[in-house]
Amino acid sequence: MPIKYVPFIPEPVEGQAVLGNFNRILRYKGADDVSMTLQRGMPLYEMEKQETVGENADGNMVIRGECVSACAYLKEQGIQVDLVYIDPPFASGADYAKKVYIRRNPKVAEAIAQAEQELDVDELKAFEEKMYGDVWDKEKYLNWMYENLMVIKSIMSESASIYVHLDWHMLHYVKILMDEIFGEDNFINEIIWRRKQSVSWASKQFGITNDTILWYGYNADEYIFNPEYSIDDENTKNYLEKRFVYDDNDGRGKYMKSPLVNSLYRPNLKYVFHGVNPPENGWLYKKERLEEWYQNNELVMPSDPNMRIYRKIYASTYQGQPIQNIWLDIPIVNPMAKERADVDYATQKPEALLERIVRTSSNDNMVVADFFGGSGVTAAVANKLGRRFIHADIGLNSIQITRDRLVSDGAEFDVLEIKDGVQLYRNPVQTMDKIKSLIPGLKNEDSLDSFWEGAISDSKLGTIPVYVPNLMDSASKLLDKVTMNRIIHQAIPELDNDIKKVIVYYIDITDEVEIMNFIKEDDSTTVEIELRDLKSILDDVVIGDYAEFHAEEIAGGYAVAIDKFMSDRVLSKIAEFNQKAFLNSSAKKSYKPIEISEEGLELIEFLSLDCTATGGEWHSDSEIKIDKNGYVIVDGNKTKEFWDGYIRSTKKPLRLKIRNICGDETVWEV
């Protein structure tokens, strides 16, 4: 259960409508539920510190948890953010996957002999696993986005900006949501980002090559704007070539003439300057500024007193053309780029994109937050540019990739986990898939509405519909009166008349006695409602990996040798992959199964030694990561050496952590 509920806004604005304007424009299912959720507040759960990297005097955070829970924690701690960039799911119907690589076994002599050779990535054995689902219907997506945007607004500073990255699927709906939440007057820009030059599949439509980023300020009068200029793109180069054509041969180089005529009538700027009469609306600057340029020979003075004065803009001091709202100069991360090779995340955005946003809308030491952090590009860029950062994501792979990325960059931060009543498998999609297989007798039932996960057949009661909360939807994880009211008055009445019982699973519940009394007091249905705790099923999802190892004293410290490693979950995934590959094989496409050695060291991606404590928060006193080519990254430093099966430390190791190639981590005492 939550420790408490934190209000979205400390003092509600008089007359503020929750979903008011939006509902008048677009009425959709579930909007009333969202308004009740907002009135209840943000659920605040316990936060557990998993690890501290460096001293972390700036309070940087990498948080595993949902946006709503992360913002509840920040608000309770009194932490405000100065810039938010989010790249939430687009409701595109896509199902993103992580490519998982089998590492090279250090106990195979042939692999060690090839250490000086460049490896062919195509030869690496790889398979994919789901990272998260971008699968929504419109109503659920809008409810989910509304709640997330509301909680984000509640922790923004007065001068903060928010950038929301979207594509065409939900852009127009989310624009209306943001007008409702942040105010139409606080809309700053619609930014068009061209991700690629062209697409090859668009045969019966114009190719879609862009995403859109909506930029709003918390307060249109106080937001930060540091303009950027383009000097290297083709348009600017052409501009320089065509406009900068004058040269006084005084050593200052070429210049262009810039008119000093005011577009608006300014009587206070109408004055005669060195015998030249003012334009009809007045000069563009005060007399003192023009005099300074005149003394520096930076003005072109006319021979006729009724002609115009021009300022000389020198190419050597020209900043470039101001960046406009159509960004054509930042391509998507190339598959062969170093960024992609280092991170390799499905929805990865280029660092150049975030650099522009962070520079434009924040200053040194300000707090930059991303609540759908993905590959950690926002946190990495914020750190490089001298900002503080908060990275939050629900997926374990996101946290691990970001953590390792920041370690390599020399960043300092805390790794935190929200204890919101459920330990996710690795991400919501995989957990939901696993849940379906663990609920006894649960099968798909086409006759049921999508609200129900499926049904169980009972010899006496017949079909029993089963409700399972959607882990992608923070609102559904908590069983409260709002959800129960919807089940009783919307979901159950739509069932066939012969349904006698339903089963309702929950991850977290406000108060089980209160909910049971609520059900008893409502006499609108005769259908029996059974409540079940989903955590008892999720306990079966997480099973630790197995390892055999031994510690040795060596010159200068200690070494832990990994003798054997086994992961039932990874082997199960590989078996599924091999089965699928076999079924899809043909004479032209031969079947090549992934094979794992008896030692199983190919399944290890990361190792860490804690030489400080035997329990509690993890201290990574020594760590190595094996990249997909088999090379080791030692304490964040890349090498061209193969892993030899050991991890070393100067101090005596107390605990060993191993992460398998799918992201599961297990800890052993040494």
pLDDT digits (tens, 9 = 90+) for 120-163: 444 567 877 776 666 567 777 888 888 899 999 999 999 999 99
C-alpha 368/C-alpha 376 separation (Å) is 12
Structural domain boundaries enclosing 663: 546-669
Tell me whether residue 349 is in a domain. yes
Residue 146 lies in a domain: yes
Query: Of the given ranges (99-103, 525-529, 658-662), which has the lowest mean pLDDT?
Result: 99-103
Which residues of 614-670 form beta strands (DSSP E)?
Answer: 622-626, 631-634, 637-642, 646-649, 655-660, 665-669
164 and 295 both lie in a single domain = no
SS3 content of the chain, % helix, strand, coil (to 5): 30, 30, 45
Which of the residue ranges 25-34, 278-287, 477-486, 491-500 would you say has the lowest mean pLDDT? Answer: 25-34
Q: Which of the residue ranges 97-111, 405-419, 440-454, 564-578 would you say has the lowest mean pLDDT?
A: 97-111
One domain for residues 519 and 532: yes
The DSSP string of 29-51 is: TTHHHHHHHHHH-EEE-EEEEEE
pLDDT at 541: 62
Q: Contact at 8 Å (CB) between 89 and 66?
A: no
Whether 559 contacts 534, CB under 8 Å: no
Q: Mean pLDDT, the chain, as a whole number?
A: 86
Residue 524: the pLDDT is: 87
Residue 523's CB is within 10 A of a number of other CB atoms, namely 6
CATH number at residue 51: 3.40.50.150
Predicted pLDDT of residue 263: 86
Domain match, 330 and 212 both = yes
Burial class of residue 268, CB neighbours in 10 A (0-12, 13-18, 19+) = exposed
The residue from 287, 320, 353 where one domain ends is 320
Q: What is the mean pLDDT of residues 635-663?
A: 94
Strand bridging mode 367-370 / 388-393: parallel
Q: Give yes or no: residues 659 and 586 share one domain.
A: yes
Residue 517 and residue 647 share a domain: no
Give the lowest-confidence range in 24-33, 173-182, 541-550: 24-33
Whether 141 maps to a domain, the answer reads yes
> Does any domain span residue 203?
yes
Same structural domain, 244 and 209: no
User: 55-64, 106-115, 329-338, 480-489 — which one is most confidently predicted on average?
Assistant: 55-64
Among 506, 522, 538, residue at a domain's last position = 538
112 burial (CB, 10 Å; 0-12 / 13-18 / 19+) is middle
Looking at 271, 294, 320, the residue that finishes a domain is 320
Whether 212 and 87 map to the same domain: the answer is: yes
CA separation for the pair 171, 641 (Å, rounded): 47
- Is 110 part of a structural domain of the chain? no
Instruction: Classify each residue of 474-494 as buried b or exposed e, where b means 16 or more C-beta atoms within 10 Å of its C-beta.
Output: bbbbbbbebbbebbbeebbee
Q: Is residue 12 part of a domain?
A: no
Domain at 618, CATH number: 2.60.40
CB-based contact 605:620 (threshold 8 Å): no
| 475 or 113, greater pLDDT | 475
Kindly state whether residues 495 and 465 are assigned to the same domain: yes
**257 to each of 244, 246, 287, how far by Cα in Å?**
8, 8, 19
**460 vs 451: CA distance, rounded Å:** 24
Closest by Cα among 312, 287, 286 to 298: 312
Q: What was the pLDDT predicted at 125?
A: 79
Mean pLDDT, residues 32-44 taken together? 77
Query: Does 78 share its domain with 154?
Result: yes
List the beta strands (DSSP E) in 195-341.
210-217, 229-230, 255-259, 299-300, 310-314, 321-322, 326-327
Q: What is the pTM of this model?
A: 0.81
The answer on 140 and 49 residing in a single domain is: yes
What is the per-residue pLDDT for 325?
92
CATH assignment of the domain containing 516: 3.40.1340
Whether the predicted pLDDT of 188 surpasses 50: yes
Q: Are 209 and 194 in contact (CB under 8 A)?
A: yes
Q: Is 662 domain-assigned? A: yes
Split into its structural domains, the chain has a count of 4
pLDDT, residue 81, reads 98
What are the φ and ψ backbone dihedral angles of 536, each rounded to 5 degrees? -65, -30
Q: Look at residue 13 and tell me whether its pLDDT is greater than 60.
A: no
Whether 140 and 196 map to the same domain: the answer is yes
Q: Which residues contact 494 (CB under 8 A, 6 or more apart)?
A: 449
Segment 251-267 shows an average pLDDT of 92
367 is a domain residue:
yes
- Whether 157 and 40 map to the same domain: the answer is yes
